[in-house]
Amino acid sequence: MAKPAVIVVGADKGGVGKTTVARTLLDYFSANNVQTRAFDTESPRGTLKRFHSDITEIVDMTATADQMKIFDTLNAVSPSVTVIDARAGLLSPALASLRDIGFLDAAKTGQITFAVFHILGPSIASLEEIAETANFMGGAKYFLVKNFINNTSFFEWDQATYNSYFRRIKDATELTIPKLNEMAYEQVEVASVPFLKFVANKGPQDQAANYSFVLRGYVRHWLANVWSEYDRIKLTDIVGSTKASAARSDDK
C-alpha cells in the first residue's frame, strides 16, 4: 500500500489564488485516477467545497478535533492523497501545529509524503513568507508557486531581490501557474464546477451544460499548461501513485 501523501496549499497572504491552485490539483489527481480527499480550512464557508463538494470537507485547522479528523485518518481511509487548502494567514500556524503534533518528523523519516505548495503574491511581504515557511520544510517537498493571475513579475526584473528570496531554500522547486482568461475564470466561478467538468461542458451533477466553446477552450488550454507543470515535477510519482500520467483519461 502506498504511504499517505499530504499536500498543503497555502500562503499567508490572501487573494493569491490558493484555492485555484488546489482546484487544479484535485482535477489533476482525478484525471490521473489518484484517489484524493480534500480539506477546506475556510471555515465555516469553503470555496473549495463549492467546486469539489463530493470529496471536500470543511475543517478548522486550529481545532484539535479537526486536526485529528485529518491526520489520524491518513492511514485509515482509502484515498492516498490528502489536499489541504489552507486559508490566508494560516500557512505558518498550520505548519507550526504540524511540527508540534510530530507530523513533520514523520515526514522527515519517510513515513508520510508531505508537500507544500506555497502560493506567492506580488508583494515583498509575500516573498518574506518564504523565509518564515522555510523553517518548517525539513521533511517536506517545497514548491514555490508563482501564480500569474495578476500578471505579476515576481521581481524577476531585479535579480538581486529575486535571488534573495527564491534562492533562500535550497531544495525548493519553482512552479508557474499561467494566467487564465478573466471571462473564462468568471464563467467557471458562476458554474461552480471543477475545471474538468467545465471543459467537458458538464454541470455539477454531470448533466449537459451550455458553456461557451471559446471559454471552455481557454480553460482547457490553461489547464493543460498547469498540468504540464505538475507533470514536470512528477507529481504523481511524488504522491506515490502507481498509475502514471499515461493513465490520464482526458483529451487535452
Q: What strands lie across the sheet with 113-120, from one edge to the other?
A: 56-58, 36-40, 81-85, 5-10, 113-120, 141-147, 173-177
The amino acid occupying position 5 is: A
Give the integer Cα–Cα distance in Å for 97 and 91: 10
Give the integer Cα–Cα distance in Å for 112 and 141: 11
Measured between its terminal Cα atoms, the distance across the chain in Å is 30
Residue 111 contacts another protein per CB under 8 A: no
Give the integer Cα–Cα distance in Å for 179 and 251: 21
**H or E segment to which residue 58 belongs:** strand 56-58
Residue 237 contacts another protein per CB under 8 A: no
Residue 18 contacts another protein per CB under 8 A: no
Of the candidate residues 14, 217, 237, 244, the single one contacting another protein (CB under 8 A) = 217
Take residue 135 and report the three cell numbers written for it. 523553517
- Sequence-distant (6+) residues with CB within 8 A of 227 are 24, 28, 31, 252
Of the candidate residues 181, 192, 209, 238, the single one contacting another protein (CB under 8 A) = 181
User: Whole-number minimum distance, CB 176 to another protein, in Å?
Assistant: 17
User: Whole-number minimum distance, CB 179 to another protein, in Å?
Assistant: 12
Residue 213 contacts another protein per CB under 8 A: yes
Of the candidate residues 116, 120, 215, 223, the single one contacting another protein (CB under 8 A) = 215
Residues facing 84 on adjacent strands: 8, 39
User: Whole-number minimum distance, CB 151 to another protein, in Å?
Assistant: 16
Of the candidate residues 214, 228, 242, 244, the single one contacting another protein (CB under 8 A) = 214
User: Whole-number minimum distance, CB 229 to another protein, in Å?
Assistant: 17
Residue 218 contacts another protein per CB under 8 A: yes
The smaller minimum CB distance to another protein, of residues 109 and 249, is found at: 249
Of the candidate residues 212, 237, 242, 244, the single one contacting another protein (CB under 8 A) = 212
> Contact region for another protein (CB under 8 A) — 85-93, 139-147, 206-214, 238-246?
206-214
User: Whole-number minimum distance, CB 181 to another protein, in Å?
Assistant: 6
**CB 141 within 8 Å of CB 238:** yes
Binding stretches for another protein (CB under 8 A): 181-184, 212-218, 220-221
